Amino acid sequence: MTRLEDRQTLVAEIAAACAAGARLAPACSLAGIALRTFQRWRTCDGQVRADRRPTAIWPRPQHALSDAERARMVELANEPRFASTPPARIVPALADTGIYVASESSFSRVLRDHGRCSVAAGLGRRAAPARSARMWRPPQGRSGAGT
């Protein structure tokens, strides 16, 4: 995100360059912004608009898990039969009984948010240790003449 002061400076410099005869697209390119970005930053009356992303209110996605579904997942994971079972085994066990609540990754995410699952799928693995560099040596006993 570009601060408002930086935006105002860039817009003023680009406007000055255009007033001196430069074309808008090359001036924006030299400033390191796209022409569309310059147009979006300026309002109809020539003022510079602040970034509205930090204060934007985003609607909840329609496919997001509801609070009831999340509570159901935690409730199922806290049953005695799943006391110390990871989500990779809970989901197939529930599927065998005909119950589908959510995917394994959603299960892991919800349980991790509730402090129930410390290791999510793939996140608990450690990186392999780096291999040490080896010194290359030419093969012994060969001559370069090709005999």
This prediction's pTM: 0.50
Which residues of the chain have a pLDDT value below 50?
A: 120-121
Per-residue confidence (pLDDT) for residue 143, from 0 to 100: 64
Beta-bridge partner residues of 97: none
Per-residue confidence (pLDDT) for residue 125, from 0 to 100: 64
Query: Hey, what are 29's tokens?
Result: 């390119």
Per-residue confidence (pLDDT) for residue 121, from 0 to 100: 47
* Amino acid (1-letter code) at residue 13: E
User: In whole angstroms, what is the distance from residue 109 CA to residue 122 CA?
Assistant: 12
Residue 127 Cα to chain centre, angstroms:
20
71 near 114, Cβ under 8 Å? no
Q: Looking at the domain assignment, is residue 18 inside a domain?
A: yes
Q: Looking at the domain assignment, is residue 89 inside a domain?
A: yes
What is the phi-psi region of residue 21: left when phi exceeds 0, alpha when psi lies from -120 to 50, beta otherwise?
left
Per-residue confidence (pLDDT) for residue 118, from 0 to 100: 56
Per-residue confidence (pLDDT) for residue 39, from 0 to 100: 93
Question: Which residues in 6-19 are b (16+ Cβ under 10 Å) and which e?
Answer: ebeebbeebeebee
Q: Looking at the domain assignment, is residue 15 inside a domain?
A: yes
Q: Looking at the domain assignment, is residue 140 inside a domain?
A: no
Query: Which range of residues forms the domain containing residue 24?
Result: 4-41
User: In whole angstroms, what is the distance from residue 114 CA to residue 70 CA?
Assistant: 10
Q: Looking at the domain assignment, is residue 53 inside a domain?
A: no
Q: Looking at the domain assignment, is residue 48 inside a domain?
A: no
